[in-house]
Amino acid sequence: MNIIDRYGSNSLRGVVAVLLGAACILGGPDLATNAQPLQAEQSITRTASRGGLSSEDLLRQGVDQAQKGDYETAINRYTQALRVDPKLVSAYNGRGLARFDLGDERGAIEDYTQALRIDPELVRAYVNRGLARSALGDRQGALKDLNTALRIDPRNANAYDSRGDIRAQMGNKQAAIQDYRKAANIYSRRGDIARYEQQLDNIGRVE
């Protein structure tokens, strides 16, 4: 499934990589189109810069480069997309992921925070910011973000998995196991056997 399979799901960067797929970055209302005149007018204004490419074109180029592991170029494309459309939350989220993969956790947090200013309900930005905060040692801040993500989307398996990892690191084994079990149940219902089995491995590791 592209870059996702290069990472182990037990590592923080592995979890972030699971969120890096094109569906995660490109999903959501920013790419929705309809026949409303106002949106058509906005689309015209967003087609600018770099040879007339639209913000969505530049966003997709950023995703492509990130999937190839060229994070510097990906960041450049996301930045160009944001110059065309400063409210394109997927570009902030994607640039945050690329910065995280380059070890720039603080820069990643800034991008996720900006995305959340635009869309306070953007679950993937809470999850990603939580992982970046955890990487900096801010586990309480990470838990706060993951709790918020799960309040908005109680069936987000990635958030349960990530929160389980942090709780395990903090020595809260029972709470970690509960999170892994919830993630396992969600993956099982989706038919995602590989990730379901990974949660069972996580439970066995913590017990």
**Domain spans in the chain, listed from the N-terminal domain onward:** 2-153
pLDDT value, residue 9: 35
pLDDT range class, residue 17, cuts 50, 70, 90: very low
Q: What are phi and psi of 99, to 5 degrees?
A: -65, -40
Closest CA to 21 of 3, 41, 9, 40: 3
Taking the C-alpha atoms of residue 7 and residue 135, their distance in angstroms, rounded to an integer, is 16
Closest CA to 161 of 136, 134, 137, 122: 134
Q: What are phi and psi of 48, to 5 degrees?
A: -160, 170
Contact residues for 194 (Cβ-Cβ < 8 A; gap 6+): none
pLDDT value, residue 35: 31
Count of CA atoms in the C-beta half-sphere (13 A) of 199? 25
Mean pLDDT score, 181-205: 98
Contact residues for 37 (Cβ-Cβ < 8 A; gap 6+): none
Mean pLDDT score, 123-152: 98
Percent of the chain, pLDDT > 90?
75
Taking domain 2-153, whether its CATH number is 3.40.50.300 is answered by no
Taking the C-alpha atoms of residue 146 and residue 139, their distance in angstroms, rounded to an integer, is 10
pLDDT in tens, 84-109: 999 999 999 999 999 999 999 999 99
pLDDT in tens, 139-187: 999 999 999 999 999 999 999 999 999 999 999 999 999 999 999 999 9
pLDDT range class, residue 202, cuts 50, 70, 90: very high
User: Is 13 or 154 the better-scoring residue by pLDDT?
Assistant: 154
Mean pLDDT score, 12-25: 44
The backbone region for 172, taken as left when phi is positive above 0, alpha when psi lies in -120 to 50, beta otherwise, is beta
pLDDT value, residue 26: 53
Choose the weakest-confidence range: 6-10, 133-137, 190-194.
Answer: 6-10
With 0-12 / 13-18 / 19 or more C-beta atoms within 10 angstroms meaning exposed / middle / buried, residue 182 is: buried
Angle at CA 155, nearest 5°, toward 102 and 127? 20
